[in-house]
Structure 1
């Protein structure tokens, strides 16, 4: 596999210090090369996942025995919906470190592979008790998604009902948890409750990680028009905004 271009502003020093420490087992030139490719994975994974995947494959070819590289490769494969490949990389990383942090995303890979029952089995496994609060919330989201995959809407709603959902404290996971709950309520035909929870999701979504504001506007019958279209006159323009996204 050929090397991919690395922008001049990427030095490799941008990566997390723990990852940098892992790479110290490699010769310095090789470590720097791997680090730069990992920086590119992190930089591109949200907006250009296929490109991130390409850089992850380069890093993997250079340093497949480094857990952080296997983990990055897993997330890049996951972002491009290559769930079997992602699961294999996550399992490899977990074998190397013994860490349970990847358990929820591994379970979500099982969902992606059409095995929601396996994801639910993982949600009930002892490993979940070893997760931190964020990991446990993530596992709850995956379990609820698996219930929905199986057509068990009421069970999905119950799965999401938790102290974290009821809490007024805003945490990094709050918006996504409230959004998933609202979406499940709406799927179950409980529109007024869904509206309430989409509104709560909007309140807690400070960085725009969900499209809760669009979903709320849709429920309220708001149509977006192009304010810059001078030919619109008094007539409504076409409805806009992103399409609905399920959590």
Structure 2
């Protein structure tokens, strides 16, 4: 592993560093990317190492943000995302920022971001990602009917090839379950399992667990909500310098 495994755009972004630092940062970025799915905590450690020497490069801060988010370090992820957004002016990080707020136990702030003018300018992918986060925030607040309505968008049935399709179907199933609409929730969970060819959700596992379960009067057991490992009441502001 030399660091040249990075894509050419990322390699070029490191040219402002000294050759020694660029190589060091690149190697840690490669390792962070490789470990992200199987060992997110170790991926976060590698991303931090890259950030310490390459923190003025936006792509390095973005890698640190994604690693922190994946590892459940929502306060750190939020700080990094804010920094990346300031450095690049890119609002596409807003859904992840909102999800960090939800992970920190602050669903009201997640909804504030979802309703912001900047969120209204997101492209389709970003808009749907934000709808998913906002629905989860509504569920956190006990607003189950609003959580369902918020996901009743044309993309539920029309976006067959979209990268977020399985997660949208899954989120809709969760919202229906929380609203006590068990049969519909089961139906949409099955749709999510079919759509989830990459294993982004646990829809298939939940269906296996529910095999033989009767839904005549009972509710579909809701999937566990994201835990909030960080309970700091601060706003997550970055002291050094953005919402799946």
Same fold (TM over 0.5): yes
Match of 1:65 in 2: 56
TM-score, length-scaled by structure 2: 0.83
Match of 1:137 in 2: 128
1:182 to 161, 167, 173: 173
Deviation at 1:217, TM superposition (A): 3.0
C-alpha distance in 2 between matches for 1:17 and 1:126? 34
Confirm or deny: 8 A CA contact 1:42 1:52 kept in the other structure.
yes
Deviation at 1:201, TM superposition (A): 1.0
Spell out the pairing of 1:1-247 with structure 2 (5 A cutoff).
10-167=1-158, 169-221=160-212, 244-246=223-225
C-alpha distance in 1 between matches for 2:130 and 2:7? 24
TM-score, length-scaled by structure 1: 0.82
Deviation at 1:195, TM superposition (A): 1.4
Confirm or deny: 8 A CA contact 2:65 2:81 kept in the other structure.
yes
Larger RCO (alpha carbons 8 Å, 6+ apart): 2
Q: CA RMSD in A?
A: 1.8
C-alpha distance in 2 between matches for 1:168 and 1:104? 19
Deviation at 1:74, TM superposition (A): 1.3
Deviation at 1:206, TM superposition (A): 1.3
Q: Please tell me whether Structure 1 or Structure 2 has the larger radius of gyration of its CA atoms.
A: 1
**Greater shift after overlay, 28-37 or 124-133?**
124-133
The unaligned stretches of length 5 or more in structure 1 are: 1-9, 223-242
C-alpha distance in 2 between matches for 1:216 and 1:246? 17
Deviation at 1:245, TM superposition (A): 4.6
The unaligned stretches of length 5 or more in structure 2 are: 214-221, 227-244
Confirm or deny: 8 A CA contact 2:99 2:133 kept in the other structure.
yes
Quickly say closer, same or farther: Cα 1:58–1:168, change in 2 above 3 A: closer
Aligned partner of residue 14 in structure 2, secondary structure: helix
Confirm or deny: 8 A CA contact 2:159 2:165 kept in the other structure.
no
Aligned length: 218
Deviation at 1:101, TM superposition (A): 1.4
* Residues 92-143 of structure 1 deviation map (CA, whole Å, 9 limit, x = unaligned): 1111111111111011111122211111011111212332221111111110
